[in-house]
Amino acid sequence: MKINDALSGAALVALGAAVLWHIQGFPPMPGQKFGPAWFPGLIAAGLIACGALLAATRLRAATRDPLLALPAWTRRARPLASLAAVVAGLVVYVLAVDTLGFHITAVALLMVWSRLLGAAWRFALPVAGAATVIIHLAFYKLLKVPLPWGLLKGVVF
């Protein structure tokens, strides 16, 4: 997707304005020249200035590009179905992970996604299993992120 620079600049200005509005409630630091709102305010002012310059430069340009141009793949059914499957799979993951557990949900989703994206069954199942084990090791063992066990509660890995 190609987003016109004028639209990106306007988004930066809006983000900077939202940050400036939010930091108004930050309390001052007693005995300090600069309070907790100083640095976010400085960044917000920079966002507003850069966003305004970006938008103004693009609006002054001789060519008038559309604000939003979709790429060619969005006009084909298979890529759109794959994108919809990934989004739907994330929703299914959020709804099912506590009941089924991370491992069962991840293997099932990765297998379905692999098949929808064109992988053969002989690759989809081993890749889904291996990816789930690697993700489990990275998050559960290494980073100590508690993954839900669901139906596998009590099984030791």
Residue type, 147: L
pLDDT 10s digits, 54-87: 999 988 887 777 878 888 988 999 888 888 999 9
- The first and second tokens of residue 6, run together, are 């004028």
For residue 146, give the 3-state DSSP assignment: coil
pTM of the model: 0.60
Non-local (6+) Cβ contacts of 141 within 8 A are none
Q: Which ranges of 27-120 does DSSP label H, i.e. alpha helix?
A: 38-60, 77-100, 102-116
pLDDT 10s digits, 100-136: 999 999 999 999 999 988 899 999 999 999 999 999 9
DSSP label of 33: S
Distance CA 73, CA 76 (A): 6
Domain-wise residue ranges, the chain: 2-69, 74-152
